[in-house]
């Protein structure tokens, strides 16, 4: 069947050798509708970002790599803020004909302001795995606010595999929103559908907090490295909390990194998954998210209650930008799974199930 490949199919691809690994896959890598990708043994520091094209990764590295580091499973390597790195991935693909893929950072990676993009051996586009691809994968990594400490086996990116065209058309999406809303307002009513390309549901920013808590966070600069293996790091050491500012909203400063949340809540049922749509530049010079994959079961429960907000990673470019409560800036595309996954998001106690505004898992809960 056409659609996004789900957990049981991903396991079958592993068993058949279509997904291989230089070290055995860990059970937690296989998600309901995606596969976590692990850092391999080698990381290169680069002069600049690049696309491999016909020359391939190895030849480009011969021209552009300034240093090569070996990753250890125990001792961390610090990747410095502003540096551009390329890491080989433990997983190797020998995809069947007709199976294609897309890459994306993991949620925690995006919330740390680490810009991660997937590369294939001779790729002409980032985050794109052509149908039937056979070869190695690489992650381009650029820490933008913090230095980060990584080890071999750390998961910074995800891969989603599919057959055909899995996206819902506008008619299907409107029917789903009317019958059992996937994206809801605080009162439970469905959020509006945007029938552009691709058809999607509109999301807006939440800058209202009646209890006086933070509505967002601004990343501090020049802090000690964030070790990806750490937990309960002090929030105030790395982040400045932002409180509600009424009708004045918040003016975002250029090239600063902010964390906010949506007003709407998502409930992704088992037969669907979702992806944030790349930001429309006509809405402003912003980058509104790094991590865009949303797995089946996110915010969902059998009884229809619940829902979880999306956390948004925002950076404005060139000029200051006014962000106001309820501003519709974001869109989420719903995609059809090939089948119901045999595991759903949150069943393993995910850090972000049922979330509101939440920082990366390395930081203490606020």
Same domain? 102 vs 128: yes
Same domain? 135 vs 181: no
- Structure confidence at residue 174 (pLDDT): 94
Same domain? 134 vs 275: no
Q: Which domain does 42 fall in, by range?
A: 3-163
Smallest CA-to-CA distance from 304 within 191, 173, 179, 172 is with 179
Which own/partner contact pairs does 360-364 have at CB distance under 8 Å and 24+ positions apart? 360/107, 360/108, 360/111, 360/112, 361/108, 361/231, 362/108, 362/112, 362/226, 362/227, 362/228, 362/230, 362/231, 362/233, 363/232, 363/233, 363/234, 363/235, 363/238, 363/239, 364/232, 364/233, 364/234, 364/235
* Boundary residue ending a domain (139, 163, 187): 163
Assigned domain for 75 exists: yes
Q: Decide: 90 and 24 in contact? Cβ < 8 Å.
A: no
Q: Which helix (H) or strand (E) holds 85?
A: strand 84-94
* Boundary residue ending a domain (163, 192, 223): 163
The DSSP 8-state label assigned to residue 281 in this structure reads G
Same domain? 151 vs 219: no
Q: What is the CATH number of the domain that holds 67?
A: 2.70.40.10
- Structure confidence at residue 346 (pLDDT): 79
Q: Which residues of 46-71 are buried (b: 16+ CB within 10 A; e: fewer)?
A: beeebbbeeeebeebbeebbeeebeb
Assigned domain for 358 exists: no
Same domain? 153 vs 195: no
Residue 215 CA to residue 242 CA, distance in Å, equals 6
Where do we find the tokens 């009317």?
Answer: 178
Instruction: Give 119's contacts (C-beta < 8 A, 6+ positions apart).
Output: 51, 52, 57, 86, 126, 137, 138, 139, 140
Residue 312 CA to residue 289 CA, distance in Å, equals 5
Assigned domain for 22 exists: yes
- Structure confidence at residue 290 (pLDDT): 63
Same domain? 328 vs 182: yes
Q: Decide: 328 and 312 in contact? Cβ < 8 Å.
A: no
Query: For 166, what's the count of Cα atoms within 13 Å in the CB-facing half-sphere?
Result: 28
DSSP 199-255: -EEEEEB----TT---SEEEEPSSPPPEETT---B-HHHHEEEE---GGG-EEEPTT
- Structure confidence at residue 103 (pLDDT): 96
Query: For 335, what's the count of Cα atoms within 13 Å in the CB-facing half-sphere?
Result: 30
Same domain? 196 vs 224: yes
Assigned domain for 316 exists: yes
**Exposed/middle/buried for 144, CB within 10 Å: 0-12, 13-18, 19+?**
middle
Instruction: Give 162's contacts (C-beta < 8 A, 6+ positions apart).
Output: 2, 3, 4, 5, 99, 100, 101, 102, 335
pLDDT tens string for the chain (366 positions)? 799 999 999 999 999 999 999 999 998 899 999 999 999 999 999 999 999 999 999 999 999 999 999 999 999 999 999 999 999 999 999 999 999 999 999 999 999 999 999 999 999 999 999 999 999 999 999 999 999 999 999 999 999 999 999 999 999 999 999 998 999 987 778 998 988 888 999 889 999 998 889 999 999 999 999 999 999 999 999 999 999 998 899 999 999 999 999 999 999 999 999 998 876 666 666 766 666 899 999 999 876 667 899 999 998 888 899 999 998 888 899 999 999 999 998 777 676 776 789 999 999 986
The DSSP 8-state label assigned to residue 121 in this structure reads T
Written as six digits, the tokens of 351 are 């850090």
Assigned domain for 37 exists: yes
- Structure confidence at residue 284 (pLDDT): 66
Same domain? 72 vs 157: yes
- Beta bridge partner(s), residue 201: 193, 332
Same domain? 77 vs 131: yes
Assigned domain for 365 exists: no
- Structural domain total, the chain: 2
Same domain? 176 vs 273: yes
Assigned domain for 23 exists: yes
Where do we find the tokens 């390309």?
Answer: 197
Q: Decide: 46 and 65 in contact? Cβ < 8 Å.
A: yes
Same domain? 156 vs 29: yes
Smallest CA-to-CA distance from 86 within 69, 111, 73, 98 is with 69
Q: Which helix (H) or strand (E) holds 263?
A: strand 257-266
Q: Quick check: pTM over 0.85? A: yes
Assigned domain for 360 exists: no
Written as six digits, the tokens of 267 are 């409930």
Same domain? 181 vs 314: yes
């Amino acid at each position: 069947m056409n659609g996004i490949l789900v957990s049981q199919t991903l396991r079958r691809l592993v068993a058949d050798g279509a997904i291989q690994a230089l070290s055995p896959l860990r059970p937690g890598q296989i998600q309901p509708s995606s596969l976590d990708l692990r850092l391999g043994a080698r990381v290169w520091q680069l002069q600049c970002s690049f696309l491999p094209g016909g020359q391939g990764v190895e030849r480009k590295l011969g021209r552009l790599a300034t240093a090569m580091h070996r990753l250890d499973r125990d001792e961390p390597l610090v990747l410095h803020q502003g540096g551009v790195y390329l890491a080989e991935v433990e997983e190797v693909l020998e995809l069947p004909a007709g199976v294609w893929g897309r890459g994306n950072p993991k949620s925690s990676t995006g919330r740390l302001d680490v810009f991660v993009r997937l590369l294939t051996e001779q790729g002409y586009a980032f985050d794109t795995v052509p149908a039937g691809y056979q070869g190695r994968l690489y992650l381009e990594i650029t820490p933008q606010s913090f230095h980060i400490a990584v080890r071999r086996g750390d998961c910074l990116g995800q891969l989603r595999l599919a057959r055909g065209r899995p996206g819902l058309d506008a008619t299907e999406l409107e029917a789903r929103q009317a019958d059992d809303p996937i994206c809801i307002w605080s009162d439970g009513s469905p959020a509006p559908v945007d029938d552009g390309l691709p058809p999607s549901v509109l999301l807006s920013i939440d800058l209202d907090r009646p209890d006086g808590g933070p509505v967002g966070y601004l990343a501090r600069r020049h802090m000690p490295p964030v070790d990806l293996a750490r937990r309960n790091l002090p929030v105030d050491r790395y982040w400045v909390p932002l409180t509600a500012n009424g009708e004045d909203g918040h003016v975002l400063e250029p090239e600063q990194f902010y964390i906010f949340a949506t007003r709407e809540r998502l409930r992704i049922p088992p037969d669907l998954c979702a992806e944030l749509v790349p930001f429309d530049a006509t809405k402003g010079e912003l980058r509104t998210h790094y991590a865009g994959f949303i797995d089946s079961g996110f915010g969902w429960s059998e009884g229809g209650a619940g829902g979880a907000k999306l956390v948004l990673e925002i950076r404005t470019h060139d000029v200051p930008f006014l962000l106001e409560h309820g501003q519709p800036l974001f869109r989420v595309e719903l995609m059809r799974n090939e089948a119901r996954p045999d595991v759903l998001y949150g069943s393993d106690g995910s850090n972000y199930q049922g979330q509101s505004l939440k920082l990366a898992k390395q930081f203490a809960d606020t």
